[in-house]
A and B are shown apart, each in its own frame.
Chain A
Amino acid sequence: MARVAMRSLNKKYDEVHAVIDVNLNIHDQEFVVLVGPSGCGKTTTLRMVAGLESITSGQVSIDEKVVNELPPMDRDIAMVFQNYALYPHMSVYDNMAFGLKMRKFDKPEIDKRVKVAADILGIQELLKRKPRQLSGGQRQRVALGRAIVRHPQVFLFDEPLSNLDAKLRVQMRVELKKLHERLGTTAIYVTHDQVEAMTLGDRVVVMRDGRVQQVGDPMELYNQPANRFVAGFIGSPAMNFAQVRIAAENGSLWAESEGLRIKVPAPITPRLGRYAGMEATLGVRPEDLRIAGAGDAKDLGFDVAIEVIERLGSEILLDVAVGSATMVASVEPTVTARVHERLRLAINPDRVHFFDNKTEAAI
């Protein structure tokens, strides 16, 4: 069990500055997920923690001990790679035992630990097989087993589920979560899938272009995104954005654009005051839009035309035109609507976001 800390961590390759000033404190037993689009530096960060990549500047410490110069074998970590990296010439048993053999554990202890890990992962029958005789999901388990037999201080995962089919991925996600609850080992998990990040992480770190955008627990990221990027990245379907002008009228603020005029909810008004007369970005999640009823305030609704209807069973997604922009609204599955129909949508006033156009930061 251990804490991991990164201090102004930087990685420069010849042409790219892959990781820029990353600061992160990971608590003991915490499951932290690094998430971001492809090429944002997640893997590079993880590899610096593992010791597989040299650190350009900054510090990585595990349990208060700076490990910058420590070779990977002395960091007491275990890593699961995207392609599993099982040793193809060794049986499953030997794959799992290799790390213990290298660390000079005696035979009975090795045997015991491999058996326990195999029990946890349900791969007792596979111990004699070679990796090429396993299915993708089984390989995944063996790779996990190889990590847990060593009882390391920290687990590092680099997109371990991305080679599995959708159904298996969901299943393994649950198992990973259970495994973490059972073992309590500190874990850093890299993925580009925001659903995986939200479901697995105690805390989620959103990265873009080498920089950390926001760190927080999943609901915090969802409810209070720090900037437009996080707002658009977290949540599915993605948040709707619209360019609006902020207009002051009779002591309250209005967000206006073609086909849209909404009164800015009172709690946000003070913060938005200095944008009066300027442009800003309005953000609202599809699930925070609903079909306006009689009880909805007039100044929180707007008229739209339905362009596409996606029936997902548990909900219906309406792709609608607002002026010349488009938005997605997620509505009850009981709603009956037809394409090209016009209707009125209402916004949930507590859940409207505004972003600065230049800095993209949340207002």
Chain B
Amino acid sequence: MIEGAPWRRWVFFYVPVTAFVVSLLFPFYWMVITTIRPDSELYRPWSAPNYAPFWTTHPTLEHVHDLLSETLFSTWMWNTMLISLAATAISLFCGLLAGYALSRLKFPFAGSIGTAIFITYLVPQTLLFIPLADIIRNFRLGDSPWALILTYPTFLIPFCTWLLMGYFKSIPKELEECARIDGAPRWKAMVYIIFPVAIPGILSAGIFAFTLSWNEFIYALVFLSSPEQKTVPVGVTSELVRGDVFFWGELMAGALLGSIPVAFVYSFFVEYYVSGITGSVKG
């Protein structure tokens, strides 16, 4: 805490924190208010009398209702969930093994392989989707969930590998050596000792990977075309913006509902998550 006179605490702590929190939360507030605002208020020009952009006196769930009944929103949610979970599972599995190998096994070029994996993570998706689209077409995977389940790991695996590699390095190697002297072959030492100890790191990698896939836009936009295959970010933006008409109420309702699973996952694991990013293991 900040020491000294109360005004110091206000100037250096409460005021900046409040400003920060307000500016962070404002978009969410805007999303909520737009969702429950009736159309008549939404499309009222700003110069109209009693124009009140920051609150509404006639809250309504009509946009949510429209979103769920007149669009394929629930299908999109389901698609997104399926794709995110599958991509996360694949990436975590590969990331665990690769991260372990890069941090613990001694083999030629281990260092350069680690760097190479990191570099693939740096290639922008906006470039990578062009060759990937070609591959997707050749394998006839277009317009199916597999197109995303198999392409998301291209950026998730490097990400998970690096995060987990760092985490594994923070675990004292004596733990594993002791297990191996105790009679565990390497894979058992890995499964019984290292992985359980690395749970905070594994959870962080998983949550991050899940969020990244949930919010992914470019690949989903390019590789999927029929409305019933789409994911939430693409579905909402492509089906609720027709020509130059923006269905703001439904758009915001979609964004709001779409962010609930991610928010849920975060709040559920937040403790593990924080210790995974910042902490390490104490003996």
A144-171 vs B: 1/0 string, CB under 8 Å? 0010001000000000000000000000
In the complex, the answer to whether A102 meets B283 with C-beta atoms within 8 Å is: no
- A242 located at the interface, meaning its Cβ lies under 8 Å from any Cβ of chain B in the complex: no
In the complex, the answer to whether B183 meets A84 with C-beta atoms within 8 Å is: no
* Contact-residue bracket for chain A: 20 to 34
* Contact-residue bracket for chain B: 20 to 34
In the complex, the answer to whether B178 meets A103 with C-beta atoms within 8 Å is: no
Contacts of B182 in A (CB 8 A): 73, 78, 98-99, 102, 146, 150
18 additional A-B residue pairs with CB within 8 Å, beyond A52-B181, A85-B172, A88-B281: A50-B177, A52-B180, A73-B181, A73-B183, A77-B181, A79-B178, A83-B174, A85-B175, A86-B283, A88-B197, A88-B283, A89-B196, A89-B199, A98-B184, A98-B192, A99-B181, A103-B183, A150-B183
A303-332 vs B: 1/0 string, CB under 8 Å? 000000000000000000000000000000
- B193 located at the interface, meaning its Cβ lies under 8 Å from any Cβ of chain A in the complex: yes
In the complex, the answer to whether B283 meets A52 with C-beta atoms within 8 Å is: no
A85 with B283: in contact, given A52-B177, A102-B188 (CB under 8 Å)? yes
- A132 located at the interface, meaning its Cβ lies under 8 Å from any Cβ of chain B in the complex: yes
CA gap between A81 and B178 in the complex, in Å: 8
Distance from B67 Cβ to chain A, minimum over Cβ atoms (Å): 44
In the complex, the answer to whether A50 meets B183 with C-beta atoms within 8 Å is: no
B164-211 contacts to A, CB under 8 A, are 172, 174-175, 177-185, 188, 192-193, 196-197, 199
Contacts of B281 in A (CB 8 A): 88
Distance from B178 Cβ to chain A, minimum over Cβ atoms (Å): 4
Give the total number of A-B pairs whose CB atoms are below 8 A apart: 71
Contacts of B179 in A (CB 8 A): 87, 98, 102
- B282 located at the interface, meaning its Cβ lies under 8 Å from any Cβ of chain A in the complex: yes
Residue of B nearest to A104 (CB): B183
A72 with B177: in contact, given A88-B283, A132-B282, A146-B182 (CB under 8 Å)? yes
In the complex, the answer to whether B181 meets A50 with C-beta atoms within 8 Å is: yes
CA gap between A98 and B176 in the complex, in Å: 12
Residue of B nearest to A75 (CB): B181
- A131 located at the interface, meaning its Cβ lies under 8 Å from any Cβ of chain B in the complex: yes
Contacts of A78 in B (CB 8 A): 181-182
In the complex, the answer to whether A83 meets B172 with C-beta atoms within 8 Å is: yes
A110-160 contacts to B, CB under 8 A, are 131-132, 139, 146, 150
The interface of chain A, by Cβ under 8 A from chain B, is 50-52, 71-73, 75, 77-79, 81, 83-89, 98-99, 102-103, 131-132, 139, 146, 150
In the complex, the answer to whether A84 meets B283 with C-beta atoms within 8 Å is: yes
In the complex, the answer to whether B177 meets A85 with C-beta atoms within 8 Å is: yes
Contacts of B181 in A (CB 8 A): 50-52, 72-73, 75, 77-79, 99
In the complex, the answer to whether A85 meets B178 with C-beta atoms within 8 Å is: yes
Distance from B127 Cβ to chain A, minimum over Cβ atoms (Å): 39
Contacts of B184 in A (CB 8 A): 73, 98, 102
Contacts of A139 in B (CB 8 A): 283
20 contacts between A and B (CB under 8 A): A50-B177, A52-B177, A52-B180, A52-B181, A71-B185, A72-B180, A73-B180, A78-B182, A81-B174, A81-B177, A87-B179, A87-B193, A87-B197, A88-B282, A89-B197, A98-B179, A98-B182, A99-B183, A139-B283, A150-B182
A83 with B178: in contact, given A88-B197, A102-B184, A103-B183 (CB under 8 Å)? no
Contacts of A88 in B (CB 8 A): 175, 197, 281-283
CA gap between A87 and B176 in the complex, in Å: 9
CA gap between A52 and B175 in the complex, in Å: 12
In the complex, the answer to whether B178 meets A131 with C-beta atoms within 8 Å is: no
Contacts of B172 in A (CB 8 A): 83, 85
The CB with the most chain A CB atoms within 10 A, among B178, B180, B196, B281, is that of B178
